[in-house]
Amino acid sequence: MRILYFIPESWPTFRPDIAVLFGKYLAEYGLTVDLATDGDDSGASWNAGRTLFFRAPAGAVPDTPWRFFHTLTVLLRVRTQKYDAVQVRNMPVHAMFALWFCRLTGAQFYYWISFPHSEGQIFRAARRGWTAGFRYFLPMMQGHLGKFLLYKVILKRADHVFVQSARMASDLAERGVPIAKMTAVPMGVDTTLADPEKITGIHDDRLIRKRVVLYLGTFDERPIEVLLEMAAVARRSIPELALVLVGDSYHQSRRDSLHRLAQELGVSDIVVWVGWVSPDLGWRYVRAAEVGVSPVPRGFLLDSSSPTKVFEYMALGVPVLANDSPAVEDIIRESGAGLCVELSGANLGGALVSMLSDKVALKEMAERGRNYVVNSHDYKKLAAETADVYARLLRSDTRPIGK
């Protein structure tokens, strides 16, 4: 089986549902995936197939014209390269061209949705306002065009649609996409790497004799303010608390506002700002924590998301404290690996105190979380299930190579 896969992320990418699921495990089931995007082979290698990369000229912003030209150039090879299917991820306009080429050549067409990309473009443009000029009008136009194409054409005519969660499938079914034509492939973890037996907690002098609660991820479009408020509430009962923030913002103004808020709330002395670090080092900080937090703003964009950090916490034996985002709430309920409360500093702070006050319960949550990920969200298992879907679609045998 041979698939041509267009992705919007540059290579190398940190996205495990690309690098691990397709780049590592699906190849074991005889699936060859040629990757088309911008990037180069100087970093991580792509072992699942060929790489079809482009590089926009230095200073070219945005890369949209170059990406379109690259997409069309690569699509011309669909017939000669004898692809069984073309798959596009989160790019509705590019998917329209791919769908057309597939209908001309007889290849199957699949669409992969990990995030409502078009709605995200519209949301971010609206937040900037028309005074942002080009940074408002271009994404607003792309978002509305992509949304129209996605729901009116692409999802209805695709041979199959892969979604991020069962909740996303349910949302799309309400828009008329047949449930039978969708497969939910949630985020997962490579548990051979994220193994608490192999990864030791970081030695950081700032964490000595502290009760550590940790957040791992971006500060952008995430309610980090609520975590600072949580820390202000929880420290009243747990004075030795330390809030470790592993990640950062891409905007200096965002960093400055968070540091100011920490000072105003009186928690600057217990917040450890780690910044961006390698995944390996980030996991060592996770191993040093007693609780991992995952605040997700409520709304259409993220209610159906399947957050990687929650599964990473669980895989590394760390209980999870999250808010009532529907997809996350489903995970916590199924796993018994933490608590979910409504999103506020007071609610999270109270729940954190409750969790840290019962070490026996924390240990049980940690064990349940690790078991849940190993049994349900390990990428080796997800790859086997996803390979079965491709086998059914392409009517091929996908027994692991060598077995």
* Across 88-108, average pLDDT: 95
pTM: 0.88
What is the per-residue pLDDT for 232? 97
Identify whether residues 78 and 13 lie together within a single domain.
yes
Asked whether residue 182 is assigned to any structural domain, the reply reads: yes
Assess whether pLDDT exceeds 80 at residue 402: no
DSSP state of 200: P
Backbone angles phi and psi of 87, in degrees to 5: -125, 135
Asked whether residue 173 is assigned to any structural domain, the reply reads: yes
Asked whether residue 401 is assigned to any structural domain, the reply reads: no
What is the per-residue pLDDT for 270? 97
What is the per-residue pLDDT for 160? 97
* Across 78-107, average pLDDT: 93
What is the per-residue pLDDT for 181? 95
- State how far the Cα of 127 lies from the Cα of 219, in Å rounded to an integer: 17
DSSP state of 21: I
Which domain does 118 fall in, by range? 2-188+378-394
Identify whether residues 163 and 256 lie together within a single domain.
no
Provide the token pair at 314.
């669980």
Helix, strand, or coil (residue 174)? helix
What is the per-residue pLDDT for 401? 47
Assess whether pLDDT exceeds 90 at residue 44: no
- Whether 23 and 48 have beta carbons less than 8 Å apart is answered as yes
The number of distinct structural domains making up the chain is 2
pLDDT digits (tens, 9 = 90+) for 183-197: 999 999 999 999 999
* Across 337-352, average pLDDT: 96
- State how far the Cα of 270 lies from the Cα of 231, in Å rounded to an integer: 8
Q: How confident is the model at residue 301 (pLDDT cuts 50, 70, 90)?
A: low
Q: How confident is the model at residue 64 (pLDDT cuts 50, 70, 90)?
A: confident
pLDDT digits (tens, 9 = 90+) for 136-193: 888 899 889 999 999 999 999 999 999 988 888 998 999 999 999 999 999 999 999 9
What is the per-residue pLDDT for 124? 83
Helix, strand, or coil (residue 274)? coil
Per cent of the chain over pLDDT 90 is: 70
Please give the distance of CA 265 from its chain centroid, rounded to a whole number.
31
What is the per-residue pLDDT for 122? 85
What is the per-residue pLDDT for 42? 65
Identify whether residues 157 and 291 lie together within a single domain.
no
* Length, in residues, of the chain: 403
Helix, strand, or coil (residue 359)? helix
Backbone angles phi and psi of 108, in degrees to 5: -80, 155
Assess whether pLDDT exceeds 60 at residue 62: no
Identify whether residues 370 and 385 lie together within a single domain.
no
Identify whether residues 35 and 180 lie together within a single domain.
yes
- Whether 38 and 63 have beta carbons less than 8 Å apart is answered as yes
What is the per-residue pLDDT for 335? 95
Assess whether pLDDT exceeds 50 at residue 360: yes
Q: What is the CA radius of gyration of the chain?
A: 22
Query: Which CATH number covers residue 219?
Result: 3.40.50.2000
Report how far apart, in Å, the C-alpha atoms of 179 and of each of 88, 147, 161 are: 19, 20, 9
* Across 253-272, average pLDDT: 96
Assess whether pLDDT exceeds 50 at residue 17: yes
Q: Strands of 160-163's sheet, edge to edge?
A: 51-54, 32-38, 2-6, 85-89, 108-113, 160-163, 182-184
Q: What is the mean pLDDT of the chain?
A: 91
- Whether 215 and 296 have beta carbons less than 8 Å apart is answered as no
Smallest Cα–Cα separation from 246: which of 210, 216, 202? 216
Identify whether residues 212 and 332 lie together within a single domain.
yes
Identify whether residues 89 and 112 lie together within a single domain.
yes
Considering only residues 358 and 128, tell me which one the structure prediction assigns the higher pLDDT.
Answer: 358
